Structure 1
Amino acid sequence: METLKTQAKELLLSPDLLSLVSLVTRMIGTHEDPHKLEAKAIFAHCSQNYPNTLSLKLTHLLQSSTQSPLTAAYATFLSSLLTGHSHKISPMILTELKPLLFACFQRQTLEPILKPLALSIGIVALRVYKTKHADWQELLDYIVSSADSEDQKYRELGLILFSELPMKMGRFLMPTFDSLYLTILKCFSSPTMNHRSFGFRMSLILVVHLEGFVDYDSIKDLLPAMLKFLIELMNDRQDGSTELCLKNLNSLVKENAKFFKKHLKHVCETMLQIVEADYVGEKIRYAAMDIVRALNDSLNTEMFALMQNLTGENLHRLISASMDMLVRIKDDPILYNMDFNVTFEDINGGQMESYDLGSFLLDQISAAVAGDVCLPITLKLTQQYLAAPEWQKHHAAMATLSIVAEECSEVQ
């Protein structure tokens, strides 16, 4: 142990950075290197006991390094150090780290270096955020200016920084909130799809940070702009991007459902519009309908009230979309072989996810909507399904009747 302490002190008290370069080189060496474990032990001891000095030395190495593999290692080890020991970094060292880290980030172009650097900046920003009378205006200005730039590479750099800020840093963002919000809205009005896509991604991050810090009436135009972009993306036949954006929106519902409260009808109508498009794939349809389920899970009272008030065409569309989820099952000869101990779920695998989602939504609809309103629409749709040649539609019709009849049993 004494040897380890001595080695750590020699490393940190060295007037140059060559000893640290040698240590990091050994840490990223091959498994056969007999000194690799020893180097890691020294680094861990320095991280635990001398995080201020080690963080500064690593940052200075980042500034001077010109070799990509080593630079990436410096950035990774620095982010690891700050992740585990940022609470030990003194305010004075934080003040030194801010401009050094920011300058390093602005000079880099390679993602393996940018990502850990952005993580380190985010961790330091969190400490700054928690320090009274401290701010990091230069960082905020950079994020805003990048969002407003026509240079896609510059925009992406700002997005990397923004995405690595720790969760729910609304107070930290407030000095530039108005500028950031207006800039994001400006992105959505851009004629360039890439710029609008950037606005969507920035919106997802902004909303997470703002929970509890702003009145959502002050950003009332944001969600409609996001939904409009989703339809544009779908119409542009960018299936992979559409599915990813829907999944991201679903995650946002789970993270900050209050943001959606005043736009529930608009969100549900947009999801139905996506589901009803005859040129989208099954994964997109599922992702869209799953957002309706996520809203119901997070805002059950509000969604119940919304469904209660559904009538006519909108109710017909929602029941129809839910029934269509029940059709997503496949027949398999193995089901008819009694020698195999298998279930319907075993054969259909992923298809059962859609089936379960459709069943869930039909159950919620029939529980909320009055039977004398829900049942006639359901009967009309099931008759159409029963008249179709596909056995899947027959099965969906019977399943629908079973679900709806349970809730509407009192209807004469």
Structure 2
Amino acid sequence: MAESTEHQQLAAILGPEPAATFQTVISHLISSPSALQTLISDLISSEKRSEAELVFNICKQADQESLSLKLAQLLQVSPDEKTLAMCSILLRKQLLTRDLWRRLSRNTKSTLKHTLLSCIQREDTPTSISKAISYAVSELASAVLFAEGWPELLPFQFQSTSYDAPPKLQECSFLIFDQLAYFFAPFKEELHTVFLYCLSSSTRSDEVKIAAFSAVVSFIRCLPSSEDPNMFHDVLIEMMRTVMGELNKGKEIMAQEAIKLFIELARTHPSLLSRNGQIIRAMLQIAEAIDVLEQGTRHLAIEFLITLAEAGERAPWIMRRCREFVGLLFPILMRMVSNVKDDPSWHTAETDDDIALGVSGDYCVGQECLHRLAIALGGNNIVPIALEHFTAHFAAPEWPKHHAALIALAQIAEGCSEVMIKDLEQVVPMVLNSFKHPHIRVRWSAINAVGQLSTYLAPDLQVQYHQQVFSALNATIYGLQNRRLLAHAASALQKFIEKCARDILTP
């Protein structure tokens, strides 16, 4: 009954062929390269896809082994890029079908392995297709390496990463190392040499180096806890040199990809990246180049630095030189939060829903990172340096610097509360004096700071400065100022009162 239904479906698509049995039609589709090529083309076509999918699925049910071999053959010989892409997808799905590989004959398995490696080496194959085949190799290898092995794979890998191999082949080989890092862990000495040689080379392409560095990161993360990852420190230094060199050439996209990988590694192996400070100092240089580099590049460098700071004792260089580190990073963040413009729309908004009007990407990232840095390193390391910068900013004539100091003060309050409480006589006047600033956005940031300090410096702030804070907020609320300021002051007053003792509130 099932075969009869399939025969009817197939006849409806291909047309009635009384002389041909169902099996004959299927065999023709599987065995004929031109017929399979047509079927693949129909799978790509949006108009014929549903019918082609039905036919292809029937072929799979009829003879998966022959279909896999023919897909591999077509992948090897087809000149059409779309066909190659579809074949790589279909073959990858075929090979990952549950229990299919186990049912294939030994000769078919050998043929498929050989064909996949040959296809990666095919020079006229587009890079995107070669990468897709590389992922197919990786997934197949992860399924069979432990069970039955793949003796040809490792020699192929080392040969493909040599300097005289085509760049596309080098990149694909490193992609496979990346995906199979766990399986290649026993060859760490050999791989260390391969990685170091690649990343220190001046002739390797950017794409090859990024693929190699991604493999390095995956390999380090896969090392057993008993293994020492420090043997790869020189590889990381070489990659950092490459990043700086690329930035000097204006190649920021490649640098950004590399820094993302550094961030990934910082989350799992911070001690390796803060071993002697070279990489940290380089990232600080990138973060500082505000007038030279793109925001995206600088923000990634800062994310790396903050991630290491959040690692605490697992980032020993930062812990040993914490004041030095903060002294270098804090002014960069202060400069970022100073990047705010006087957007006319801000003045007409009645609520803080449009709080981002006139602020830059630098401002948003800087604000968040000040908060994270303070929580990570604490008041003893942050407050002395912060107060120096706040004093300098308030002495400057530009309103954005006053605004930045108040925003930064509010952002570090949570992480630095225990130390800031001891410096209330210095902190509170900075805030309350700004309630009379001629620029409305500075007054808004002063109110915002009161709201934050009311939460994190309570109850000391309320006990020592309730009269001054009440006076400043009441003057704003009843002074018929901007409605947005009024709403924000009311919110700050509520936060202040919530932490007040009853005797303070009694008239």
Q: Which residue of 2 aligns with 1:233?
A: 246
Deviations, residues 215-252 of structure 1 (Å, cap 9, x unaligned) = 31332322222222222222333233323322233244
Contact 2:178 2:214 in 1 (8 A): no
For residue 394 of structure 2, the aligned residue among 386, 390, 401 is: 386
For residue 157 of structure 2, the aligned residue among 135, 143, 146 is: 143
2:198 corresponds to 1:182? no
Do the aligned partners of residues 81 and 353 (structure 1) sit closer, same or farther apart at CA in structure 2, a change above 3 Å counting? Answer: farther
Q: Which residue of 1 aligns with 2:223?
A: 212
Q: How many percent identity over aligned positions?
A: 22
Contact 1:76 1:113 in 2 (8 A): no
Which sits farther off after the overlay, 156-165 or 7-16? 7-16
Deviations, residues 77-128 of structure 1 (Å, cap 9, x unaligned) = 2234335x16521263433311112122212422343233222222222222
Contact 1:185 1:225 in 2 (8 A): yes
- Separation of aligned partners in 2, 1:99 and 1:179: 24
Q: Which residue of 1 aligns with 2:140?
A: 124
Residue correspondence of structure 1 range 28-39 to structure 2 within 5 A = 28-31=44-47, 33=48, 36-39=49-52
Q: Which residue of 2 aligns with 1:96?
A: 111
Q: What is the Cα deviation at residue 339 of structure 1?
A: 5.4
Contact 1:185 1:222 in 2 (8 A): yes
Contact 2:333 2:369 in 1 (8 A): yes
2:128 corresponds to 1:155? no
Mind listing any 5+ residue stretches in structure 2 that lack a counterpart? 11-21, 424-507
TM-score by length of 1: 0.82
Q: Which residue of 1 aligns with 2:332?
A: 321
- Separation of aligned partners in 2, 1:381 and 1:349: 21
Deviations, residues 14-37 of structure 1 (Å, cap 9, x unaligned) = 454444233223222351x4xx42
Residue correspondence of structure 1 range 244-255 to structure 2 within 5 A = 244-254=257-267
- Separation of aligned partners in 2, 1:340 and 1:263: 44
Amino acid aligned to 2:286: I
Contact 2:170 2:208 in 1 (8 A): no
SS at match of 2:353: coil
Contact 1:362 1:400 in 2 (8 A): no
Mind listing any 5+ residue stretches in structure 1 that lack a counterpart? none
Q: Which residue of 2 aligns with 1:406?
A: 417
Q: What is the Cα deviation at residue 334 of structure 1?
A: 0.7
Do the aligned partners of residues 207 and 407 (structure 1) sit closer, same or farther apart at CA in structure 2, a change above 3 Å counting? Answer: same
TM-score by length of 2: 0.68
- Separation of aligned partners in 2, 1:48 and 1:348: 60
Amino acid aligned to 1:98: K
Contact 2:306 2:373 in 1 (8 A): no
User: Larger relative contact order (C-alpha < 8 A, sep ≥ 6)?
Assistant: 1
Contact 1:65 1:71 in 2 (8 A): yes
Q: Which residue of 2 aligns with 1:270?
A: 282
Contact 1:323 1:362 in 2 (8 A): no
Amino acid aligned to 1:103: S
Q: Which residue of 2 aligns with 1:78?
A: 91
Q: What is the Cα deviation at residue 306 of structure 1?
A: 5.3
- Separation of aligned partners in 1, 2:58 and 2:371: 54
Q: Which residue of 1 aligns with 2:3?
A: 2
Contact 1:335 1:343 in 2 (8 A): yes
Which sits farther off after the overlay, 71-80 or 163-172? 163-172
- Separation of aligned partners in 1, 2:285 and 2:265: 20
Contact 2:178 2:216 in 1 (8 A): no
Contact 1:327 1:392 in 2 (8 A): yes
SS at match of 2:183: helix
- Separation of aligned partners in 2, 1:99 and 1:230: 36
Which of the two has higher C-alpha Rg?
2
Q: What is the Cα deviation at residue 311 of structure 1?
A: 4.8
